[in-house]
Structure 1
Amino acid sequence: MARKRALVVRGGWEGHRPVEATELFIPFLRDNGYEVRVEESTAVYGDAAEMERTDLVVQCVTMSEITAGQLAGLGAAVVAGTGFTGWHGGIADSFRASSDYLHLVGGQFATHPGKEPCLRHGAAEDNFLPHTVQFTELGRTHPITAGLADFELETEQYWVLHDDLIDVLATTTHPVRPYEPWHRPVTSPAIWTRRWGAGRVVVTTPGHSLDVLQHPSVRTVVERGMLWATRTASAS
């Protein structure tokens, strides 16, 4: 049987530690029989032959820009069956200027609410809030998340704008706070999948820092998500 081919694409804003973060998961891929190629830019998406033989793309590229040709190559590959996955800003806050990318992924980071203004000191921790990741009914039985219990984090809590073509496996709720402008609790998807053509997309929004990615539940979701998103025989 031919080995599965995984393409790890990393770059963008260095605050999300794209090299160190992806290096956490490359051994898992190799241990599960993947041949892994690592690229430091999205230029590879424009290589039609390479994308055609790729079974899984793991992307960690926060913000940044992508050309129309590169995005078209990524989109065509997913439609043809290539899996696409990532975590936090590396997939949910990529290529903000591209509506077509948003259409592919199905959800986009809008903000991460912060602490009470008087408690902020100009550091990343200003946006670290305790919150719960709660699994949906679907999430309690889905192969990516089955058997996992709701869990607590103190890190960035993503507020996500999304459509209803995503299948939500877990959510997180932003409560009403006296110093914020919203007037009722807002629930955002925290983990979701999306079918796009013959391809599978998996987005895990926790993952701001290496310690969050090493949280047992977060790491399990990311790793299972990579396996689940990978091209299936029926998509070959």
Structure 2
Amino acid sequence: MTKTALVVRGGWDGHHPVEATELFIPFLKAHGYDVAIEETPEVYADAERMKVTDLIVQSVTMSEASAEAVAGLRDAVASGTGLAGWHGGIADSFRNSSDYLQLIGGQFATHPAAHPDRRQGDESDNFLTYAVEMTDLGREHEITVGLTDFSLHTEQYWVLHDSLIDVLATTTHPVEPYYPWHRPIVSPAVWTRDWGKGRVFVATPGHNPDVLRDDSVRTIVERGMLWATRAA
């Protein structure tokens, strides 16, 4: 049976929403999805379209969505449509909507910067080498089973979150003399969320296509999309 996937992309160009989503479209098609693409989240307000969508893959950093679009997305997920995404395309979308933030369960707060002496005045100032560590749940969950802890050199997301998420992997922000916090901060790096009849999947790595090509990151995103898809 053919499944339907809707790729919604846009927002801040710095996260390469077109190139990033194009990495995963062949995977979806190879797994039997009929894939459609929209360049605006306003498609979420189309209730009839949402009823026949089994999976939404969202890559829209910041930007805005109307109240009608957010309500449509929440209704769709609650009715069984899956929602999946990575990095700012899902965890830093529609900052002015508390309803959206509640749906996702985690919101980007910051990405700690490199030592002041090593900053160049470009995006690499926010790149750190950090570990993504599997939780006990992550070692058993179908999205991350068989994967080991791994390291990345990219933005390390600090995420504000609630207790309704199921955390599959974490990352720890260290204490440095040039940071204002005084103890290590453990932040979710990969999580899932049950919402009504639907599922939400979020991975915080994915600042650019190179990060998404990392074997571990790509495996997590691909499995996450399959997991989130509406159950038959």
TM-score scaled by length of structure 2? 0.99
Q: Secondary structure at the match of 1:22?
A: helix
Q: Structure 2: how far apart are the matches of 1:69 and 1:37?
A: 21
Q: Secondary structure at the match of 1:177?
A: coil
Residue 35 of structure 1: aligned partner = 34
Q: Secondary structure at the match of 2:230?
A: coil
Residue 213 of structure 1: aligned partner = 212
Q: Tell me, yes or no, if structure 1 residue 136 matches structure 2 residue 135.
A: yes
What are the ranges of 5 or more consecutive residues in structure 1 without an aligned counterpart? none
AA paired with 1:206? P
Aligned pairs for 1:81-92 (under 5 A) are 81-92=80-91
AA paired with 1:140? R
Residue 147 of structure 1: aligned partner = 146
Q: Structure 1: how far apart are the matches of 2:121 and 2:51?
A: 45
Residue 110 of structure 2: aligned partner = 111
Residue 199 of structure 1: aligned partner = 198
Residue 157 of structure 1: aligned partner = 156
Residue 223 of structure 1: aligned partner = 222
Aligned-residue offset at 1:94: 0.3
Q: Structure 2: how far apart are the matches of 1:79 and 1:62?
A: 23
Residue 59 of structure 1: aligned partner = 58
Q: Secondary structure at the match of 2:36?
A: strand
AA paired with 2:90? I
Q: Secondary structure at the match of 2:199?
A: strand
Aligned length: 232
Aligned-residue offset at 1:195: 0.2
Q: Tell me, yes or no, if structure 1 residue 47 matches structure 2 residue 57.
A: no
Deviations, residues 42-70 of structure 1 (Å, cap 9, x unaligned):
12111100001000000000000000000
Q: What's the RMSD between the two structures over aligned residues?
A: 0.5
Residue 24 of structure 1: aligned partner = 23
Deviations, residues 182-209 of structure 1 (Å, cap 9, x unaligned):
0000000000000000000000000001
Aligned-residue offset at 1:122: 0.9
Q: Secondary structure at the match of 2:63?
A: coil
Q: Structure 2: how far apart are the matches of 1:28 and 1:166?
A: 26
Taking every aligned residue pair, what percent have the same amino acid on both sides?
69
The 4+ residue runs of structure 1 with deviation greater than 6 A are: none
TM-score scaled by length of structure 1? 0.98
